[in-house]
Structure 1
C-alpha cells in the first residue's frame, strides 16, 4: 500500500513502497492503479535504498515532464545501476565523453543546443522520406522468414532486424557495419564500453564521407568531440529497442484479441492512427529516466523536496481512467493521442516519428503477408525480469506460426 497522504511529504522510508515486478505489457501491476487511487505520486524505495517519488497519475506526469525544476542530472535509478555509471563502465574517459553529450541526463541550455543538432533527421518529413527503403527491407525480411519455414520468433526474427535497419539508415551506419551494430546494441546483455567504442569508430569512419544522415550532421556541427561521441552513442542505444519491442508485442495483442485484428484486416488504413493505441496500451517504460528535484516544489498536493529522486512512469499514466476511458481495454479505434509512451516535454523521444512509421509499416505488411498468422506462445504474457536498469518490460520470445 502507498504512503498515507499525511506522511507523503515527510519522505519517511519506512512507509515507502518498492517497485512491483508482477506486471506485463498487457496487464501492468495492479499496484499502480491502487497507488494512483490514493495519490498521483507514491513514495518508492529504490534498490540502492534511495527513497523518491514514483508518479502514476497522468496529469502530474505531464506536469513533471514539462517542469525544468525536475532536473535530468544526478540520476539515481529505481532498480539496478545506471548503464553508463562508473560501476559498469570503469573507464572514466569513456564515462566523461558519453555524459558530455548525453541528452538523457542534461538540462537546458546544454540539452537544447545538443538536441537541436540531430532533430532534423527525425522529423516527420525526413522519416517519411525513408519509407520506400524501409518498405522494401520489410518485404525482403518477410520473404526470408517465409522461406525459412512456417514458424518464427517475431522479436528476434522480425522486430530486431527491422529496427536495426531503420536505425542504421537514419543514423548513417554503413550497411557493411550493420551486423556489428546489431551484435552490440541488440544483444541481450548490455556492453556499454563496446557501445561507446563503436560510436567512436562510426564518427571516424564518416568523417571523410559525409552524407545525408544523423552522424554526418553531428560531424558538421560545432559540438565538441566529447559531445559528438556522447550524442552518437545515445542515439545508437536509444529507441531501437522500443521499436523491436513494440512490433511483436502489438502482434500478440492483435492475435489474442481477434475482433481488434479483424478491424485492421478489414481496413488497413486504420493501422497508422492505431499506432497511438499500440504504444499507449503497451508502454514499455515502467519508469522513464529519473529526475532530481532542483528546488522545493508542490504539485497536486505532493511536496517534492530539493534533492529527491522522481521516477515518472509511462505505463501507469497511460492507464489513468481520468484521461483514457476504459484504459485497460485494447481498442485500435481509440483516439489515444496525448499518451506519454514517448515521454513528454523537451525530453520527449527524439525518434518517436521514426518509431510510428516503422511500427505501422511492419504491422501492415505482417498482417497482409501472413493472413493465417497465429500465436504459438509468448513469454511476455507472464511477468519477466526487467530488460535493464531502467525498468522496462522485456519482449521475451514471441513464437508464431502460419
Structure 2
C-alpha cells in the first residue's frame, strides 16, 4: 500500500505587499487565514512547503518537537540558498535538541529582566547622545543612519565587551554586514573583517576575562565541563549581533514612520507617557518585521487541524499573519496603542522564542519615551510615497528615513 500524497499546492508563497500599504503583510494572508489556513504553497526557493497562517496554529506547530531549525534562515524565500546546508556549530538560531538547549542555558542568565533593566541608563545615554548630534548637525538627518542603526549596534558592543576605542570600527563593519544596499564584494569583505575582529575579541577574553557576556560565557561553559570553542563563541557573538541589531534597528525606524502616519496614535503617546510599554507591544505586533516567517524542516509527523504535516516536508509559520488574526486581535489591521498585545508572535514562540526580547523591549521603550519628547515637531523630510522599503530582506524596514523638525527659538 502506497502512502497518500500530500495536499496539493494552492498557489505561491505570498511575498508582495499591496501598493501603498507598507505596514500590512503581503497580499494573500487574509484569504489564506479564512479559507486555507494550513496551505501547501510553492516557495521562491523552488520547493513546496506547508504555510501556517492562523495565530493558534502558529503557536501549536512552533511548540512541536517534530521540527528542525538546522536549516538556512529564510531558505524558502531565497532561490540561491543551498537547502542541504546544516546548522553551524555555535548558532543558537540554527540548532536543535541538546545542542540548542546547551547554548540557550549558557545565555539565559545574560538576558534576565534584572540584567537588562540595568542597561536602561546606558541605552538612554546613547539615545540622548544621538539626538543631540542630530539636533546640532547642519547636515540633513537620516533617522536610519543617524539613530536607528547605531544605537542597537552600540548596545551589542556594550554586551560583548568591545573596547571603546574599537566600537566605531565594529559599528561600521556591522552596518555594512546588515545592509542590503552594498555590493556583494563589500559585504563579503566586511563579513571577513568582523569575523576576524570577533575572533580576536574572543581570544582576548579567554586570556584576560572581563565583566562582559563573552567572558561570562567562557567561564560558564568551562564550569559546565563543555567548553565553547573559539568558532562557537564567534558564531554566537555574530548571531547576537545580527539578530539583536537588525530587528531592533528596523523596528525603531519603521515604528517612527507608522506613528507619523497615524497622528492620532502619536498624539495618544505624547499625551500619555505611561502608554509606552503597551505601545511598543502593539507596534511589534502590527509591524512584525520578520516578514517571511520562520522556516523549518519537519522531522516527525505533526497532526495539525485536518492535516498531517509529514516528516521530510518543509514548513513556514507566518508570524505576520498570526499577528493579524482577528480572532485574537480584533480590528487587527489597525494600529491601536492601547491594545493589550503582549501575546503577539513577533518574537516567535516555543523553544526558539527570541532570547533577547527583553533587550529589544527596553531599547524600544527608551526610544519612544524620548524621541518625540526631545523632537516634538519631528516629521518626514520627503513625501511618504518616496520612502523605499526592504521588500526582499528577512527583516522588513525602511531603507532610509529623511526627517526634519522645527528649530527651537
With normalisation by structure 1, the TM-score equals 0.88
In 1, distance between residues paired with 2:338 and 2:246? 26
Candidates 71, 95, 98, aligned match of 1:106? 95
CA contact (8 A) 1:159 1:247 kept: yes
Please say if 1:261 is aligned against 2:261: no
Structure 1 pair 196–16 and aligned structure 2 pair: CA distance change class (3 A): farther
CA contact (8 A) 2:387 2:401 kept: no
Give ranges in structure 1 of 5+ residues lacking alignment: 1-7, 88-94
Structure 1 pair 266–82 and aligned structure 2 pair: CA distance change class (3 A): farther
Partner of 1:19: 14
Candidates 277, 280, 298, aligned match of 1:275? 280
Structure 1 pair 380–40 and aligned structure 2 pair: CA distance change class (3 A): farther
Please say if 1:286 is aligned against 2:294: no
With normalisation by structure 2, the TM-score equals 0.86
In 2, distance between residues paired with 1:341 and 1:9? 33
In 1, distance between residues paired with 2:92 and 2:390? 29
Q: Using the TM superposition, give the Cα deviation of residue 10 of structure 1 relative to its aligned residue in structure 2, in angstroms.
A: 2.0
In 1, distance between residues paired with 2:199 and 2:166? 13
Structure 1 pair 118–40 and aligned structure 2 pair: CA distance change class (3 A): same
CA contact (8 A) 1:249 1:395 kept: yes
Provide the alpha-carbon RMSD of the alignment: 2.5
In 2, distance between residues paired with 1:74 and 1:278? 29
Structure 1 pair 274–296 and aligned structure 2 pair: CA distance change class (3 A): same
In 2, distance between residues paired with 1:145 and 1:212? 32
Q: Using the TM superposition, give the Cα deviation of residue 73 of structure 1 relative to its aligned residue in structure 2, in angstroms.
A: 2.2
Q: Using the TM superposition, give the Cα deviation of residue 111 of structure 1 relative to its aligned residue in structure 2, in angstroms.
A: 0.5
Question: How many equivalent pairs are there?
Answer: 382
Please say if 1:73 is aligned against 2:70: yes
Give ranges in structure 2 of 5+ residues lacking alignment: none
Structure 1 pair 48–82 and aligned structure 2 pair: CA distance change class (3 A): closer
CA contact (8 A) 1:386 1:394 kept: no
Cα offsets for 1:129-155 (capped at 9, x unmatched): 011111112111111100013842111
Please say if 1:207 is aligned against 2:217: no
Instruction: Give the secondary-structure state (helix, strand or coil) at the position aligned to 2:402.
Output: strand
In 1, distance between residues paired with 2:203 and 2:252? 33
Partner of 2:228: 224
Cα offsets for 1:73-114 (capped at 9, x unmatched): 24471222688x699xxxxxxx99x81111111112111111
CA contact (8 A) 2:381 2:402 kept: yes
Q: Using the TM superposition, give the Cα deviation of residue 337 of structure 1 relative to its aligned residue in structure 2, in angstroms.
A: 1.1
